[in-house]
């Protein structure tokens, strides 16, 4: 297994939130990093920050829901750095909260395009590249919603469960090929997406977390990069909750966002 400091990492969704933190953590630990996202300005900013800190990084504009984009991002990584050792598939979208019977098919399929099909496409091309190296490690950043349900987020939960299933199955298929595949399942993390909610939504969420606080991008990054490291060399096919103890209690019940008004 290639050491982090000698390796090449690809991070999708690297322009903001958890992907931004993961890209920085890989670079801090010595890996060369390809930062992928749909918005050039955002991923260029992440790359500029990494380079300013003395790291090596490259930006690549791509939409993980599009096969040609995914193929190109992996080809770009290998062309630029000669190999692909680590991948963090962090890109994701969140649906507008609503009751299932009011959710349109187009909205449902849009969520699956990124959160499930995107994970499949990324792994498909990342694994092919890693097989040529003789191994590697992939972490799919899913969600606590990949473990349980979440009212008013049926499409999101279904897609995240699909990503968790893909993670476990792929891990079994490549366990003897030198490729480890796991998932980090974040709980409530203080990303810009979460913190744009008001206190009426945030306070009940925080109160139901045993640690009584939201997680940080850095904590997700630490878990993700650790799973890619040699320190996790006997771990594959696992979904690791990083959520302050939320899933430890069967009594933890919360509506993180108030029920939407009926249409």
User: DSSP string covering 190-205, please?
Assistant: --HHHHTS-HHHHHHH
Question: Is residue 108 among the annotated active site residues?
Answer: no
Pairing of strands 86-89, 57-61: unpaired
Long-range contacts of 217-222 (CB under 8 A, 24+ apart): 217/17, 217/18, 217/20, 217/21, 217/22, 217/189, 217/190, 217/191, 218/21, 218/25, 219/189, 220/18, 220/21, 220/22, 220/141, 220/184, 220/186, 220/189, 221/18, 221/21, 221/22, 221/24, 221/25, 222/25
Pairing of strands 32-37, 8-12: parallel
Number of residues that make up the chain: 263
The active-site residue out of 125, 152, 156, 246 is: 156
Instruction: Indicate which residues carry an active-site annotation.
Output: 156
């Amino acid at each position: 297994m290639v050491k982090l400091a000698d390796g090449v990492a690809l991070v999708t969704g690297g322009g903001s939130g958890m992907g931004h933190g993961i890209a920085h953590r890989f670079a801090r630990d010595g890996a060369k990093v390809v930062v992928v996202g749909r918005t050039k300005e955002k991923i260029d900013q992440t790359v500029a920050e990494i380079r300013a800190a003395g790291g090596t990084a490259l930006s690549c504009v791509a939409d993980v829901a599009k096969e040609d984009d995914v193929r190109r991002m992996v080809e770009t990584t290998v062309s630029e750095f000669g190999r692909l050792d680590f991948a963090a598939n962090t890109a994701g979208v969140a649906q507008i909260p609503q009751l299932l019977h009011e959710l349109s098919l187009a909205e449902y399929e849009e969520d699956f395009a990124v959160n499930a099909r995107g994970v499949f496409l990324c792994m498909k091309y990342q694994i092919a590249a890693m097989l040529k190296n003789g191994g590697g490690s992939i972490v799919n950043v899913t969600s606590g919603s990949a473990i349980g349900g979440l009212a008013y987020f049926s499409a999101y939960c279904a897609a995240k469960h699909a990503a968790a299933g893909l993670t476990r199955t792929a891990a079994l298929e490549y366990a003897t090929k030198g490729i480890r595949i796991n998932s980090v399942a974040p709980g409530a993390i203080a990303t810009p997406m979460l913190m744009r909610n008001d206190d009426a939504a945030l306070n009940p969420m925080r109160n139901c977390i045993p640690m009584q606080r939201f997680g940080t991008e850095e904590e997700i990054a630490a878990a993700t990069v650790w799973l890619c490291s040699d320190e996790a060399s006997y771990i594959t096919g696992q979904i690791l909750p990083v959520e302050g103890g939320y899933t430890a209690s069967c009594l933890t019940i919360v509506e993180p966002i108030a029920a939407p008004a009926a249409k």
